[in-house]
Amino acid sequence: MAIIAPSLLAANFLQLQDECDMLNKSQADWFHLDVMDGRFVPNISYGPMLIEFFRKTTTKICDVHLMIEEPGNFVEIFKKAGADILTVHLEACPHLHRNIQQIKSLGMQAGVALNPHTPVSLLKDILGDIDLVCLMSVNPGFGGQSFIPNTLEKIKQLRAMISEKSLNVKIEIDGGVTEENAQQIIQAGADVLVAGSTVFKSPDPIATIARLKAM
């Protein structure tokens, strides 16, 4: 059974308490929280202040996806805000190993995200140090885009790398996940499905989450 991580980016921000209450009641496992800086990605979302509020509304795992440059400057701030999992982009981190150590030394789980064009082979020498790989299945920056089919091949390759070394690393798929493609993504070897639009634009988000969970 996959871990379901609805992305709050697609929520109605004028009714955040209701959206959080809905997720808390649902079978969602994690809150996926997308932080964008307008530099690493061409969009700005929200920062640690909002994550502090999300933290107070839920006991679910707060999975924070940093789409920002120089994420090392913000590791402590996001720990204080309440992140359980902190994911940084490989493309934003010339000193990725140091950043992973920073995250783990503060007691959070560490994730590495890859853009669609970044090969999974680049993870070879960091895979044993991390808890999660977030494979972007759209170009990061916006919700509501279509799933890039080549991601399925990347999931299979990464799954083989993880199995070969008997590691305990989760594969998270982020972007364009729908009720139509979720099964295929899980079959390819994914552990975590991030879903923004599919959950929040649904007429019955709780039922949609339940269906994703049952796949």
Q: Mind telling me the catalytic residues?
A: 34, 174
Q: What is the 3-state secondary structure (H, E, C) of 159-198?
A: HHHHHHCCCCCEEEEECCCCCCCHHHHHHHCCCEEEECHH
**Residues binding ligand DX5: number (CB under 6 A):** 22
Residues numbered 43 to 72 that lie near ligand DX5 (CB under 6 A) are: 65, 67
- Looking at the Cβ atoms of 176 and 205, the one nearer to ligand DX5 is 176
Among 55, 60, 65, 89, contact with Zn ion (rule: CB under 5 A)? 65
Question: Should residue 143 be labelled a site residue for ligand DX5 when binding is judged by CB under 6 A?
Answer: yes
14: left (phi over 0), alpha (psi -120 to 50) or beta: alpha
- Looking at the Cβ atoms of 4 and 123, the one nearer to ligand DX5 is 4
Question: Should residue 145 be labelled a site residue for ligand DX5 when binding is judged by CB under 6 A?
Answer: yes
Q: Residue 143's binding partner, choosing from Zn ion, ligand DX5, none, with beta-carbon cut-off 5 to 8 A by kind? A: ligand DX5
Enclosing H/E stretch for 1: none
Residues numbered 88 to 127 that lie near ligand DX5 (CB under 6 A) are: none
List Cα–Cα distances, 196 to 5, 48, 144, in angstroms.
9, 19, 7
Q: What residue ranges bind Zn ion (CB under 5 A)?
A: 34, 65, 174
